[in-house]
Each structure stands twice: as C-alpha cells, then as structure tokens.
Structure 1
C-alpha cells in the first residue's frame, strides 16, 4: 500500500501498526488524515467488515456505509473534533454490523510522528449494548438526535461511581435509563434494586429502605433486611425521589454521605456499598425553594443530572417505537401501521410520552381485526383519551351529562379503593390490573381534585 504520510525511514509502519492492533481484544483501526484505513485488527474486521477487505477503504464507508465523513452525514466526526482539540475524543455512533445497526462508543487517539503532529489516528470501538437503533429490540430504542445525546451522557457517566439524577416527564423511560446506567457500570453483574418512592407510605419508608429488627414496631415479628442491603455491591434506584418525606430525606442524606445506615430498632451502624441513581418528574429546585426538599440532598443527588427528552422532541423515533411496542402488546399478530396511521401518531403531542403511545397502540390493536392498523382505528384509539373530564366540575360520581363516562367510572372505583385499608393497596392494584405505583398516583390525583372542588 502506498502510504503518503510515511517517509523512507518507516516504510513498514502500517504493517507494524497492524501487528500491534492484533493483540488488542476490542475492535481497533488506524487511519490517515483522509479517513483511509491503514491497519485493522481481526476484532474490527469480524464485527464491522462483513468479511470484506477493509484496509484501503475509508472508515465511514466501512462503518456507516456512507460515501462522506460522519459530520457530513448527520453525526459527530471524532477526527474533525481531534483536529480542533489536538487530543483524544469520544463520540457515540450508529455502526453497521452483521446484526444490523448498533450503537458504538468510539475513542479516537491522535498518533503523533517525530514532528509532534498527528500522523495517524487510532479508533477503539466498544458496542453500547444498553440501546438499539432498530425496531424489535428490547430496552431503549431510538435514533433521533435528542435520544443520541441522552445515550452519550449515559455512556459517559455509566462507568463512574457518580450519583445520577434522571429528570423528565412521566412516561419518558426513566427506569429504562436507570437500568442503562447500571448496565454500563462495573456493577452490572450485581443487583439493581428499584425503590418506588411514590408508593411507599411514610410510616413504612424507613423500614423498607433500611430494614428493621424483630420487635422494632407492632407487626415486626422477625428481623428483615431493607432495600439498601439488597442493593449492596450494585445500584439503588430511587424512582420518584421527589415524593420522599422530609423526615426521611435527612436519613437518606446520611446514607449517601457516610455510606452507613441503621436498621429500625437497631443501634449498630451498617455499611452500604451502593451506587445511587434517582429519578423524578417534579421540579426539585422549585421544591427546594418552597422548603419541600432539602437543598443538601438535592446537590448530593444531582452530581450528574440527565434530562430525558419528551416524545415530542424525538418524533422521528415514533415509527421504531411503534413497531417494537406492537410486538409486545400484540405478540404473534404481526400488526403494522398504515402510513396514514403512522403520520397521525407523529402529529399527536403525546403528553404521556412513550407510556401514552403504548396505551394508544394497545387500544388500536384490540380494535383491529386484520393485520393493518388504519388511520380510522388510530383516531378511535386517540379519541378515548379525548373524552371530556367532568369529574371535578360535577359532584362525585355524577357526570354533567347524566351519562356514565370512563373517567367517572374509574373515579368511583378509586373512591372505593380510598375507603379500603391501606394494607390492601397491592391486592387492589392487582384486581384493577394496574401497578401499585399507578394506583397510588391515581388516588393522590383524585384526592387533590376533590379538594379543589370542595374549595
């Protein structure tokens, strides 16, 4: 191969580079200023070369099937960034593999010659298995720029020990993002323990989190480990952290600052080796100003805040998400959206984000007898949520029209649940076909609505 960047004293440099790369387990390539690959190891050829010759071709032609560099095709080019910074650069890309397009973390390092200037550039590629850019996959799915920016932040913070605060509207996939942070960490083989802060009554919060000793309170017939202990060595995910009672916030702060805690009814300090990820749809900074959330705890939780984009910020992902969600809500049916139906979904604001999209698709699947979901069916599925909400403007259980609506029927069921003992909430949720978290949220919304009506 003609190496225009080498001089007569180093005619075999590409061959030496190839021999050096071959000892590295991760996919590696070395290329010149014109993006032309001069050396590649077998791991790269196997994962991205598709059995074809790669040396002599451009990196963007092999990895992206693109005739132009990444920055001319909608992605960030690590070579362009390295030319500006003069140092190593890390980016996240979608690469073509035998299994389809997959997210890959790229680390580019300039290789300098005797003049001190970059002579070649070396790239190391590591698959990012926490997300996919194609439909049919499990976990996080998307290709939109806002989604890629989210993944890049998760890839950055995942391997660290930093606390992560996931911010975003309900239904944006905060638990999936928390799992992705955990899977990207060195703790991936250890437990990820989810604490649903919204569904835990204040009286049981400390016991659930830290555990208790026998006889610590009425009904504590045996000692019990808490969720912190269950997460030892792994990740503790506090979902809806904005719902943690003020009385518990100081104890949580102590755990995060000292790594120690006490079971209820015990004086002995225990140590917890945990990595914390928290999530909320609330404005914690506003809650701090209002005195409803401790400022010191907020700063301890938000070492690395990540905002999850709403679905309306990644409209181009709706087609991918819809295909995957239909496979889950209607397994074995091979349902597809008509083009007009997909366009209608892409025009909908989706205040409930991916969770609302799933609900609409599940309704549409139930309303479809054939294999194609039509525009009319999607309109019908969307119209169910568009029913007028008269439950606050009229006395309890009596819609203004005198006819039963889905909302009024739901509220009647929730009022019955509200009168039942708190200990039966999980059984009630199972009977209603919803999660305990959803039940608690609906009950809270109902109480707040009736309080406003009574005023």
Structure 2
C-alpha cells in the first residue's frame, strides 16, 4: 500500500471516532484529522501538516520541553496507549481535554500515533460560572483524578481545607459518571442532630414518631440511581457511624417506623476538612467506616497551593458578582490579594470580592478598596480618620440581618473550623449553614 493510500485509509479510521481525533507522525506532525476535530479546533486550515504542540498550545517545541507531560512521548516509550490531561487552545479559548494516544505503524514500520481528544465539560480554564476553574498544575492533577475515577462507581473521599471547593469537585465527579442524568443529593452531616439523622437519611413513615403527620422520603432514597454526597462526614458522631457503615455495606436501609428493608442504589462521595486517620487513631472515627469511604482519596489543593489560578478565579468571581458591569482589579490590587494567606480559601476570596464590589467607586477596583475589603482599613474610614465599627454600620443604615452577615463572614475568614464559628456565634451548625445560604 502506498503512503497516500495508507493515509487515506487512516482518515477513514479517524472518521469512525465521534470525538475529535488526529494522526501524528514521529516528528510531531499532525498529518490527518477527522471532521469533529476540524469543527471544534479549526483543523489544519489548508495546510498539509502542522506540529501538534503548536496546534494545541501554541508552543514552539514539544510539550515535555515546556514542562508538561507529552502523551505521544509516553505512548512511544511504553508502546501502549497513554492517557493524559491537557489544556488546549480552541476558538472558544482554553479548554481542559483528556487525550488518549494510541501507537500504530504503517506498512513500512514507520511510527504514527492516533490521538483522540475528549473535551472535559465539568471544569473550565476560562472564567465561567458554576464550574471548577483553574489552569495550575495542582488544579490539573485534581481534574485528572476526578476524570479517572468519575467513570467508575468507586467510593471517593474528598479531603482538603474548608472553602477549597469540595462540593464542586463532588458535582464534577457526578457529572463525569454514568449516573450524571440522575440525582445528586447532598447531606450536610454537620447539621444533623441525633434525632434527625435516621429520619433525614432514611425517611420515615406516617406516625413513626410524634410530629410525623405524613410519610417522608429520605435523602438516600432521593439519591437512588445517582450520587449521595456526604459533606463533612468527619462530623458524624461516633455512635451514629455504625448506621452509615451498615448502609454502605448492605446497600439497604429501613425508613423510621418501617420494618421492611429497601434496596439503595447510589454512588458514594464523601468530603471532610478533618484528619480522619488521626481521628481513627484517637478512637473518634470508626476504622472500618474510614476504609469503606476512602477507597479512592483525593486531596483538594488549598488556594495557597494553586496561587497561579488567582487572577483567573478573580475574573470569574467578578463576572458572577456583577454580570452587567465589567469589573476589574488594578495591578496593585491584584498584588495585594496575592500576598494574602487565604486561610478560608476560595470562599474567603469570594467574600473579599463581594465586599469590594459593594465598596467600589467605578469599574476599576483599586488597592484601597481591597484593603477595606480585607479589613486592613475599616469600611467607612478615610485616611487619618477612625470610627467605631458599630458607628460605621449605623451610618451605613445597615439592617440587623446585614450586620449579622458581615459578622459571620469575618468569623468564617478568621476560623477554618465551622464548628468553632458556630460556637462563637452562639448557634448550632445547622443554623449556621442556614444563615450562610445565599
């Protein structure tokens, strides 16, 4: 078979792929594409070939020389299929994609590689609402793990500091799974009291207890066929953990007041900011339950660990806060933000920017506004002028609800432990969650 006829055959092979696909020779030249690739990424634009690293990233040399993993090099070295996650340039901007690279050869034993590109729609490398956002290495490693385990039914434990985005990660796991078209149900473990635990999770029948005037479907049954997300699972009291263990092991449950067991069908994702292995050592968390929920543990990086993503996160959050005015930070304002420790992580950054949006004088937010938003300068204080915080709030004619919200936001920035915040505020965790709801 001549080279021309072989390439024609390979184009037909590429056309059999639903996702974008290309054929690359040993010199990194893209020599054939399918229609899906042409539509999504622009194709070769009339050229007979182009370097893959230039088309995908705008690089002048292979990916591994730019500090990234080169899927073609991995496939060449191993002789087997290689899978990596990359950020590609597209007409719509930068996008996360999963790349499967398959080594092949022609009739003359010349090396070629088929690359199939799987766009990842659950995360974004551009500012956009309601998605996990980032481009840093730490963020990309997180996305890669989510994509790998998301396609399975394996139990996942998301670990990381408060405010790092564990619920968004859980939603991304759900979206990448075969259960994506079914329910995603969140259980706020911190807010469940002993008396509500079984009723909330398993439901109850009419008359099961005083006040049960009708039957109620529990959260486990609501998640049937979908994903059950146990947020802050480390806050479940020790004496109630056995009930969770039984649910996970038997995949059955009984509504309160009912003697008949019901089959449960859900994918389990748990999250915690606590050190569960240390709690196991102290006897505060069941060892058997820990091993059940942590089949595939994933650590979410703190904002300090992915500081490279700060400008992108700021741009995205400002778009969400004010979608009618193009707000932007000055360079010195961004530098001031970059110096912050962000103990409250992404949630703290969001609070700071929301305050800055209220305090701004125009579309450009300067360092002085960020200082006020960081409480480095009192909200109503001009240079050389100091006023009591309560007087400032009175002058701003704030309602009691607004004052309470400001106080709770300051507490959330100061203390990473939500239990400690609730204790200082003099309310239960359940009440705290309710008050923090937007």
Task: Spell out the pairing of 1:354-433 with structure 2 (5 A cutoff).
Answer: 354-383=346-375
Q: What SS does the aligned partner of 1:67 have?
A: coil
Structure 1 residues 118-169: Cα deviation after superposition (integer angstroms, max 9, x where no partner): 7211111110011111123431111111001100100111110001100000
Aligned-pair CA distance for 1:65: 2.1
Over aligned residues, Cα RMSD in angstroms? 2.7
Task: Provide the TM-score with structure 1 as the length reference.
Answer: 0.83
- Per the alignment, do residues 264 and 54 of structure 1 end up closer, same or farther by CA in structure 2, a change over 3 Å counting? farther
Is 1:278 matched with 2:257? no
Conserved 8 A contact 1:49-1:62:
no
Q: Give the Cα–Cα distance (whole angstroms) in 1 for the partners of residues 237 and 47 of structure 2.
A: 59
Q: What SS does the aligned partner of 1:305 have?
A: strand
Q: Which has the higher contact order (CA 8 A, sep 6+)?
A: 2
Q: Give the Cα–Cα distance (whole angstroms) in 1 for the partners of residues 162 and 390 of structure 2.
A: 25
Task: Spell out the pairing of 1:279-358 with structure 2 (5 A cutoff).
Answer: 279-358=271-350
Structure 1 residues 292-339: Cα deviation after superposition (integer angstroms, max 9, x where no partner): 111111011001111000001111111011111112223323211000
Conserved 8 A contact 1:50-1:97:
no
Structure 1 residues 221-276: Cα deviation after superposition (integer angstroms, max 9, x where no partner): 11111000000000000000001122221111111112111111111110111001
| Aligned twin of 2:431 | none
| Aligned twin of 1:82 | 75
Aligned-pair CA distance for 1:57: 1.1
Aligned-pair CA distance for 1:215: 1.5
Q: Give the Cα–Cα distance (whole angstroms) in 2 for the partners of residues 246 and 42 of structure 1.
A: 57
Aligned-pair CA distance for 1:384: 5.6
The equivalent position to 1:26 in structure 2, one of 19, 25, 35, is 19
- Per the alignment, do residues 9 and 328 of structure 1 end up closer, same or farther by CA in structure 2, a change over 3 Å counting? closer
Q: Give the Cα–Cα distance (whole angstroms) in 1 for the partners of residues 48 and 55 of structure 2.
A: 10
Q: Give the Cα–Cα distance (whole angstroms) in 1 for the partners of residues 390 and 149 of structure 2.
A: 47
Conserved 8 A contact 1:206-1:248:
no
- Per the alignment, do residues 203 and 11 of structure 1 end up closer, same or farther by CA in structure 2, a change over 3 Å counting? same
Structure 1 residues 195-234: Cα deviation after superposition (integer angstroms, max 9, x where no partner): 1111121210111001111111111111111000000000
| Aligned twin of 1:238 | 230
Q: Give the Cα–Cα distance (whole angstroms) in 2 for the partners of residues 120 and 54 of structure 1.
A: 19
Q: Give the Cα–Cα distance (whole angstroms) in 1 for the partners of residues 377 and 215 of structure 2.
A: 46
| Aligned twin of 2:422 | 443
The answer for unaligned runs of 5 or more in structure 1 is 1-7, 388-402, 410-415, 417-427, 449-455
Structure 1 residues 398-452: Cα deviation after superposition (integer angstroms, max 9, x where no partner): xxxxx7779xx9xxxxxx9xxxxxxxxxxx99x85989xx88763235569xxxx
Q: What SS does the aligned partner of 1:186 have?
A: coil
Aligned-pair CA distance for 1:46: 1.1
| Aligned twin of 1:422 | none
Conserved 8 A contact 2:37-2:43:
no
Q: What SS does the aligned partner of 1:185 have?
A: coil
Paired positions, count: 404
Task: Provide the TM-score with structure 2 as the length reference.
Answer: 0.86
| Aligned twin of 2:57 | 64
- Per the alignment, do residues 132 and 404 of structure 1 end up closer, same or farther by CA in structure 2, a change over 3 Å counting? closer
Conserved 8 A contact 1:197-1:240:
yes
The answer for unaligned runs of 5 or more in structure 2 is 380-387, 395-399, 413-417, 428-438
The equivalent position to 1:107 in structure 2, one of 100, 105, 108, is 100
